[in-house]
Amino acid sequence: MPLSLDNVIAGTGPGLPGLSPLVPAILFGAITVLMILAGLYLGRIVSRFIRIRPRWDVVVGVALIIEALMLGLRLLPGD
């Protein structure tokens, strides 16, 4: 909900002067791409100093199993 409210407010700003909906869409998309690239670059720099290389397939698999168990516990009858 907070993200949706933020998007409405952010979209209202460029919409007030009568800009095309494509302008904020392109602007927000470009900012998102730049932030993703900055995060990837930062991750590469940090990985030079921190040599932990987990097997991400195992990490993701364990996370999905935990998520499934937690969802299953919430759906058990008798709650």
- What is the torsional sign of CA 34, 35, 39, 40? negative
Q: How many CA atoms lie within 13 Å of 45's alpha carbon, on the beta-carbon side?
A: 6
2: pLDDT confidence band, cut at 50, 70 and 90? low
**pTM of the predicted structure, to 2 decimals:** 0.50
Instruction: Note whether residue 17 is domain-resident.
Output: yes
- Other CB atoms closer than 10 Å to residue 17's CB: what's the count? 7
The total of structural domains in the chain comes to 1
The H or E element that residue 20 is part of is none
Instruction: Note whether residue 78 is domain-resident.
Output: no
Instruction: Note whether residue 74 is domain-resident.
Output: no
For residue 54, give both structure tokens.
Answer: 């987990």
Instruction: Note whether residue 33 is domain-resident.
Output: yes
The predicted structure's pLDDT at residue 38: 93
Question: Could you report the per-residue pLDDT of 24-77, keeping only the tens digit for each?
Answer: 778 888 988 999 899 889 888 887 887 766 677 788 888 889 888 888 777 666
d(Cα 9, Cα 17) in Å, to the nearest integer?
Answer: 14
Instruction: Note whether residue 45 is domain-resident.
Output: yes
Instruction: Note whether residue 13 is domain-resident.
Output: yes
Domain boundaries, position 27: 2-53
d(Cα 62, Cα 66) in Å, to the nearest integer?
Answer: 6
Instruction: Note whether residue 61 is domain-resident.
Output: no
